[in-house]
Structure formats: structure tokens, C-alpha cells
Amino acid sequence: MIAHQNAIAQCLQVQQITPATHRKVLAILPLFHITGLVHALHLPVLINAEVIMQPAFSMKTMLDTVVEYKIAELLLVPPILIRMVRDPIVDEYDLSFLTRFSSGAAPLSEEIIQQLKQKFPQTGFKQGYGMTESCSCITAHPPEFFDYKYAHQVGTICASTTVKIVKEDGSEAGVGEDGEIYAKGPQIVMGYLNNPKATEETFDKDGFLHTGDQGSIDENGMITISDRIKEMIKVKGIGVAPAELEDLLLGHSKVEDVAVLGVRDDYAGELPKAFVVLKGGTTGNEETGRELMKYVKDRKVRHKHIKEIEFTDAIPKSASGKILRRVLRDQAKGGSKGTVVKDAVKEKAML
């Protein structure tokens, strides 16, 4: 539940660290996403910026628009930034007027950051960290940190915001120590609609949002994200709940048990992968894998499609029945033990 006050507070917070030169905004992100809602719809009104909107994305139309309107700062998500360094069409355009890349919604790998720096050495770089529950930013890079050397960090704390890093034992972490990031401020939303249980679990009695992200803060007040405690999969910056896909797949007549994880992908950030146990000890094969993928495709929007299925003998679980996702991740790193079926449709072709 996002109050009007949350959106206005966030706009005022971001305005404080927005250069006066930022007066042309490329609205390429969907307005239903919190980044688009704040940074392409509300903030431009506050700072009197011109918004150039695109009804659909393609690299050519985006680049044509950027060149035509000389849009100097580009707020893009990691999948598009990856295309900026890898797609040969980019070399056909003179982008020497670019002054800054701004990233958000999902992590950007160090490899891509270095490739951006090499290809666009004239630009600065900034990013923010937050979520829908914080109406976009909890942290962001202020102008003095608009540099590639700080790109692995997510910025300093926004105005009027309190952040604390909490260790597993409940104590507050010191400088450089990891823990879960808690945030409190006027941009923190009201809770979840008609879901008091989820609201109580995520927003504590002192008003702090428990982000589910693990990170640390250094002596300069810069925050680094090291891991995600909550298991939400980020596909192109859009949250996908593993439980939703697990519940769906458990409804298939051939599935005995299932666990869904996010696996790294250069273009989408993460993609859903399902570990599946078939009924009756049946061995998985290509045909069954395709059948299960189609089962999900027929019932879910594209960013929730399963992109890889690994058939396994059992899903590791705790004594209480909770899926041990870290064990599965370690298993995946160690190499697949069972039959693996991958979706033939490449995510990069969907951008």
C-alpha cells in the first residue's frame, strides 16, 4: 500500500541528489514498476523535466530516441546496460554526449561495470537501492560519488531515512560488518493490502522495514549489498516469488515435489530454475521437462516462466519441512546430478 505521502517523500529525497542538468528523462521502464512510477512519472513533474516515453522497447528505437533528444543521463536496468556493451548496434551511434548511466532494480555484475567504463569512459555512474516496500530508494549515490569506482556500492542513505544493520543475534553490526538491512523513513510504505500477517513480519513495531537483504556500511556511509536473505527471484528487476511457482508445479499430475531458485543470467539478472521430483520415482526426460515448462507458460506471465528444470531424487528440507535453498544452490554449483532441460527461447531475445 503506497501512500501519496510515500511517493512525494521519495521524490523530495531524490531531488536533493539530482543534478540541475537532469532535465530530460527517458521513460523506458514500465510505469507499474516502482522505478518507473517514481523516476519517470512523479519526479519529472517535481523537477520540471521533459519525459520522452516509448510504448515498446527495442535497442534501435531506444538509441534513436536518445540521439534525437540528446538525453544525457540514462536510467536503465541491468539487462539493458548489458546490451549497451554487447550489442553491436550500439557502435552505430555517436553517444559521446552521454554524461551518466544510472542503474537500479537489480544487481549489476563487476564484469559489466568494467565493460561500461571501457566503452563509455566519459560517463559517470550511479545507482540506488530499494524496493517497492520503500517506494524506490533507501540509498542512492550522491553527486560526489557519481563514478565507476563506487559502482559496486549502492550509495549513501537517503535524507530523513534511518538504516541499521542487524546481525543474526539481533545486535546492531558495526562498520564493515554484515547483517540484514533495516530501514525507516517517510518513503517506507504502509504495509500489504489485506495481509496483516505479511505486514507484521516485514514491518516491525518500531516502523523499520526488514528488507531481507544482507549488507554492510563503510566509514564513508556507503552501503554494499552482499546477499539476499529473502528468496525473491529478480527477473529484470521484477520480483518473482518461488513459492508461487512451486505451488503451481505441485498441481501438475506428474510432480511429487519441487523447489524453485533464481539462477544468474547475463541479460535478465536472474531466471527461475525448478528442481523437480517426479511421482513414482520416474526419471525425468526432455519431453517431461518441456511439458512442465509449457504448463507454467500457459498459466503465468512471461517473467515467471521456468527457464530451466533439473530432475532430482529429493528436495533437501529441514526437520520442519522448510526447503533448504542454500543446499540446492551448493548442489547447483557442484554440477547437475540429474537430467537438465533448458528453455530454448533465449531471454535476451525477449528484450
Map 290-303 to HEC letters: HHHHHHHHCCCCHH
User: Residue range 318-325: average pLDDT?
Assistant: 70
Residue 325 CA: distances (Å) to CA of 128, 131, 166, 337: 27, 22, 22, 16
Tens of pLDDT, residue by residue over 63-92, are: 999 999 999 999 998 878 888 998 999 999
Residue 144 to residue 305: CA distance in whole angstroms: 40
How many C-beta neighbours within 10 Å does residue 116 have?
21
Q: Are strands 162-166 and 179-184 parallel, antiparallel or unpaired?
A: antiparallel
Instruction: Kindly report which listed range (60-64, 269-273, 311-315, 343-347) carries the lowest average pLDDT score.
Output: 343-347
User: Residue range 200-227: average pLDDT?
Assistant: 93
Average pLDDT value for the chain? 90
Q: What is the DSSP letter of 17?
A: T
Between residues 308 and 282, which one has the greater pLDDT? Answer: 308
Structurally, at CATH architecture level, domain 4-228 sits in: 3-Layer(aba) Sandwich (3.40)
Residue 325, judged by CB atoms within 10 A of its CB (0-12, 13-18, 19+), counts as middle
Closest CA to 157 of 186, 178, 191, 189: 186
Contact, 188 vs 146, CB < 8 A? no
How many C-beta neighbours within 10 Å does residue 52 have?
16
H-helix or E-strand containing 259? strand 255-265
R_g of the chain computed on alpha carbons: 21
237: left (phi > 0), else alpha (psi -120 to 50), else beta?
A: left
Contact, 310 vs 336, CB < 8 A? yes
Residue 52's pLDDT band (cuts 50, 70, 90): very high
Sign, CA torsion 201/202/206/207: negative
Residue 305 to residue 268: CA distance in whole angstroms: 12
Residue 349's pLDDT band (cuts 50, 70, 90): very low
Tens of pLDDT, residue by residue over 131-177, are: 999 999 999 999 999 999 999 899 999 999 999 999 989 999 999 99
Please determine, for residue 334, whether its predicted confidence score (pLDDT) is greater than 70: no
How many C-beta neighbours within 10 Å does residue 32 have?
8
Residue 60 to residue 112: CA distance in whole angstroms: 21
The reported pTM is 0.73
Residue 284 to residue 278: CA distance in whole angstroms: 7
Contact, 215 vs 178, CB < 8 A? yes
Residue 246 CA: distances (Å) to CA of 46, 223, 243, 252, 260: 42, 33, 5, 10, 6
Q: Say which CATH class 233-350 falls into.
A: alpha beta
**In DSSP terms, which residues pair with 179 in a beta bridge?**
215
State residue 260's pLDDT score: 93
Please determine, for residue 263, whether its predicted confidence score (pLDDT) is greater than 70: yes
Q: What percentage of the chain carries pLDDT values higher than 70?
A: 94
Helix (H, G, I), strand (E, B) or coil at 32: coil
Ordered by start, the domain boundaries in the chain are: 4-228, 233-350
Closest CA to 54 of 25, 86, 80: 25
In degrees to the nearest 10, what's the CA dihedral of 181, 186, 187, 190?
Answer: 90
